[in-house]
Amino acid sequence: MKNRFLILVAFICFSFLNAQTSESPSFEDIISLRSFYNAVISPDGSNVVFESQATDWKENRYDRELWLSKNSDTPFQLTNNLKGNSTGPKWSPDGKWIAYLSKRDEKTQIQAIRVEGGEAFQVTHTDSNIKDFEWSPDGQKIAFLQSEDKSKEEKKRKEKYGGFAIEDEEYNLNQIWLADFKPAQFNQKLRPDQLKDTIYTEKLKAKILIDSAAFSINRIKWSPDGTKIAFEHQPNPLINSFFKANISIYDMDTKSHKILVKNLSYDGLVDWSPDGKSILYQSHLNDSTSNYYTNGKLFRINSDGGQNKQLAVDFDEDIYRLKWTPTGIYGIAWQKTLRPVIKINPENGKTKKLVISAKRIWNYSFSKDGKKMAYAASNDNDLTEIYQSEYPQKDSKKITRSTGQINNWLVANSEILSWKSKDGSIIEGILHKPQNYDPNKKYPLLVIIHGGPTGISIPSPTPSYVYPMVQWLNKGALILRPNYRGSAGYGESFRSLNVKNLGVGDAWDVLSGVVALEEKGIIDRNKVGAMGWSQGGYISAFLTTNSTKFKAISVGAGISNWMTYYVNTDIHPFTRQYLKGTPWSDKEIYEKTSPMTNINNASTPTLIQHGEFDKRVPVANAYELFQGLQDKEVETELIIYKGFGHGINKPKERLAATWHNWKWFGKYIWDEEIEVPEE
């Protein structure tokens, strides 16, 4: 491990890298921001481990490593995988070890490191990548998930028949495995007082827990007494099979399992009750036709199948990251642009929002007794920080200094505004302003549309992705990020407003937002651009062929034709649910909501960006829009990012995509000819 003193100095110093300047950050500066995730508190509540992501430009990747804070002190780097990530930390029940996932050789395996010091060592040595794991309550075993190994069968078939694949039949089931955790049996240099017997160097053999099962396992949870494992499973690991997920319980003594929850639609395992008598789960019951946009339901059920009771009936939003602790059930939910922790009474099911000194909680964890917590959170003008506090919250301590990275940068000022859409719906959005904003001036406007549609835009000092928002603000523009109908945080009815109305209603919301700013007299109506990725790219494409409001548009991974999308995507049910039909049952709704239907009306210069291997929105959509715009002699450019799927998740290509948008809107909004630098 690197010298801890130097790492500590680096951690303190990176907060002040730009302390000597007061200027607009570069694209590389924004992409290089260090970020923090996944705060996990130790069982006794004294220490916090979390993930820190840095940008490795040389290797062209984002590197996640574990950092540790002891007793709220300044954190230090705990892991250092030079070629891979270290993620998913979980404390041993006695708080002496941290296990995590990392790929050091060919496969992702469970590693463990002693909190008191020493090098990490590999716990498992299996032939497949490990996807998730759970400590047994006594800390003597680790249950984990990995896919079955069919490499020998696949090799034999390829040798005889070459390469082919049968759609929806080529998969490996995820299985539960069990490994002993006995540090003395690893080639680990521990002090004599840490050992009770001789050090062995052989690799421990993991064993499969449920063999020859006709299902794929998604999630596992040990019972508090360690005698059972609850698990969520579906017929196969294909993405659309989640509709048929059920919950079963495996008995460690009888080595058998039985189904506990089996509805016609999705049943998702959440947690055991602290006394081990009940299980918390989420379900869509029998609904497989609207569960993409309706609220999931929360239940508790006795482990023997009795007393099934719905909870949180009084709460109108989806609740995520649920945990059942000795002090109650907790979760996180969007409430407009806020993200508070929600407490649920396990007896009467009533909910209440907790008061925590941050506007948006990204993740949280509790000590074993539920009296201490750690969480990752942010406010309007902050980057995400890691906190540690008592519960109920008091004496909250910020143990990171991430926001120090943007000291003296010119970043976004954000405000939340609302307006009335064409059909009377109230729409909220985020308006970003430059720091030297002048209310008497009219600014160019760039509209940036989030994905989803159940995504959400929020206030932030450094909004980005592949759009140089901070730099546009500092160039002298305003940015509007609308939370159009279908967005998360505004309740089930709002999320349902674009059912059979995709594109059409979404465009109402975007265009009415632009008009609202025009009426305020703060934007130059002749210098308005729009862009977005995924669902935001689809809405941008719809605006390209259905509006003349914009001087330029950028379509990122967007749908251009719902029929083309439907027959190629990996999530066919999404289309059937939102459009309430297939292309063969309701051709009209597919035409009404497809950008290509009105391609003859297109006139807006349009940049198209797409990943080469996108399965969610297949690249055929990009080529179709590109060809249509070319045929109509509309200025257009198509950029394919090689090797990428639905997102651009490497820094160099993200930098390229950012430059491409900067160049495109520079030309059509500012009348500038910009060249992308070669060095």
Q: Last residue of a domain, which of 360, 383, 405?
A: 405
Q: Token digits for 441?
A: 């001036």
Q: Please indicate, yes or no, whether residues 417 and 381 belong to a single structural domain of this protein.
A: no
pLDDT given for residue 64 in this prediction: 97
Q: Give the list of residues 6+ apart from residue 389 with CB closer than 8 angstroms, or none.
A: 372, 373, 374, 375, 395, 396, 397
Q: What is the three-class DSSP state of 233? A: strand
pLDDT given for residue 182 in this prediction: 85
Q: Give the list of residues 6+ apart from residue 509 with CB closer than 8 angstroms, or none.
A: 421, 425, 427, 482, 484, 485
Provide the 8-state DSSP code for 338. B
User: Which among 35, 39, 8 has a CA at the least distance from the CA of 389?
Assistant: 39
State if pTM tops 0.85. Answer: yes
Contact criterion met (CB below 8 Å) for 104 and 86: no
Does some domain include residue 184?
Answer: yes
Pairing of strands 552-556, 523-533: parallel
Q: Token digits for 239?
A: 């993405």
What is the distance between the alpha carbons of residues 421 and 432, in angstroms, rounded to a whole number?
Answer: 20
Q: Please indicate, yes or no, whether residues 384 and 452 belong to a single structural domain of this protein.
A: no
User: Which among 119, 115, 124 has a CA at the least distance from the CA of 90?
Assistant: 115
The 8 Å CB, 24+ separation contacts for 113-117 are: 113/78, 113/79, 114/183, 114/190, 114/194, 115/42, 115/47, 115/68
Does some domain include residue 246?
Answer: no
Provide the 8-state DSSP code for 612. T
Q: How far is CA 488 from CA 204, 211, 338, 466, in A?
A: 46, 40, 11, 22
**Domain extent at residue 484:** 410-669
- When divided into structural domains, the chain yields a total of 2
Does some domain include residue 302?
Answer: no
| Cβ neighbours of 384 (radius 10 Å) | 20
Residue type, 138: D
Please report, for the domain that includes residue 663, its CATH number: 3.40.50.1820
Q: Please indicate, yes or no, whether residues 557 and 657 belong to a single structural domain of this protein.
A: yes
Does some domain include residue 560?
Answer: yes
Q: Please indicate, yes or no, whether residues 149 and 200 belong to a single structural domain of this protein.
A: yes
In degrees and rounded to multiples of 5, residue 634 shows phi and psi of -90, 135
Contact criterion met (CB below 8 Å) for 45 and 91: no
For the packed helices 504-520 and 535-546, what is the interaxial angle rounded to 10 degrees? 70
pLDDT given for residue 15 in this prediction: 42
pLDDT given for residue 6 in this prediction: 39
Q: Please indicate, yes or no, whether residues 389 and 317 belong to a single structural domain of this protein.
A: yes
Contact criterion met (CB below 8 Å) for 322 and 331: yes
Q: Give the list of residues 6+ apart from residue 656 with CB closer than 8 angstroms, or none.
A: 641, 676
Q: Could you tell me which residues are beta bridge partners of residue 166?
A: none
Q: Token digits for 580?
A: 């309430």
Residue with tokens 């190994």: 149
| Cβ neighbours of 198 (radius 10 Å) | 7
Q: Token digits for 171?
A: 């998969």
Largest alpha-carbon pair distance within the chain? 79
pLDDT given for residue 261 in this prediction: 97
User: Which among 351, 358, 350 has a CA at the least distance from the CA of 376?
Assistant: 358
Q: How far is CA 66 from CA 38, 69, 119, 403, 435, in A?
A: 10, 10, 13, 19, 35
Q: How far is CA 296 from CA 119, 233, 292, 491, in A?
A: 43, 18, 9, 12
Q: Please indicate, yes or no, whether residues 604 and 489 belong to a single structural domain of this protein.
A: yes
Please report, for the domain that includes residue 19, its CATH number: 2.120.10
Q: Give the list of residues 6+ apart from residue 548 with CB closer than 8 angstroms, or none.
A: 603, 604
Q: Token digits for 22?
A: 């007061």
User: Which among 491, 583, 572, 484 has a CA at the least distance from the CA of 535?
Assistant: 484
Pairing of strands 297-302, 228-234: unpaired
Does some domain include residue 55?
Answer: yes
What is the distance between the alpha carbons of residues 492 and 300, in angstroms, rounded to a whole number?
Answer: 22
pLDDT given for residue 183 in this prediction: 81
Q: Please indicate, yes or no, whether residues 442 and 353 belong to a single structural domain of this protein.
A: no
Q: Last residue of a domain, which of 384, 405, 426?
A: 405
The strands making up 61-70's β-sheet, listed across from edge to edge, are 35-41, 47-56, 61-70, 76-77
Does some domain include residue 220?
Answer: no
pLDDT given for residue 2 in this prediction: 39
Q: Please indicate, yes or no, whether residues 348 and 439 belong to a single structural domain of this protein.
A: no
Q: Please indicate, yes or no, whether residues 370 and 422 belong to a single structural domain of this protein.
A: no
Q: Token digits for 57?
A: 């430009």
What is the distance between the alpha carbons of residues 511 and 540, in angstroms, rounded to a whole number?
Answer: 11
What is the distance between the alpha carbons of residues 528 and 472, in angstroms, rounded to a whole number?
Answer: 12
Q: Please indicate, yes or no, whether residues 340 and 438 belong to a single structural domain of this protein.
A: no
Q: Give the list of residues 6+ apart from residue 279 with CB closer than 8 angstroms, or none.
A: 230, 247, 249, 260, 261, 269, 270, 271, 272, 273, 300, 301, 302, 303
Task: Tell me which residues of the chain have a pLDDT lower than 50.
Answer: 1-19, 188, 190, 192, 194-202
Does some domain include residue 226?
Answer: no
What is the distance between the alpha carbons of residues 372 and 43, in angstroms, rounded to a whole number?
Answer: 9
pLDDT given for residue 186 in this prediction: 56
| Cβ neighbours of 449 (radius 10 Å) | 31
Q: Last residue of a domain, which of 405, 426, 461?
A: 405
Q: Token digits for 91?
A: 């404390």
Contact criterion met (CB below 8 Å) for 557 and 606: no
Q: Please indicate, yes or no, whether residues 445 and 397 belong to a single structural domain of this protein.
A: no
Q: Could you tell me which residues are beta bridge partners of residue 432?
A: 414, 479
Conformation bin of residue 465: beta by default, left when phi > 0, alpha when psi is -120 to 50: left
Does some domain include residue 270?
Answer: no
Q: Please indicate, yes or no, whether residues 316 and 440 belong to a single structural domain of this protein.
A: no
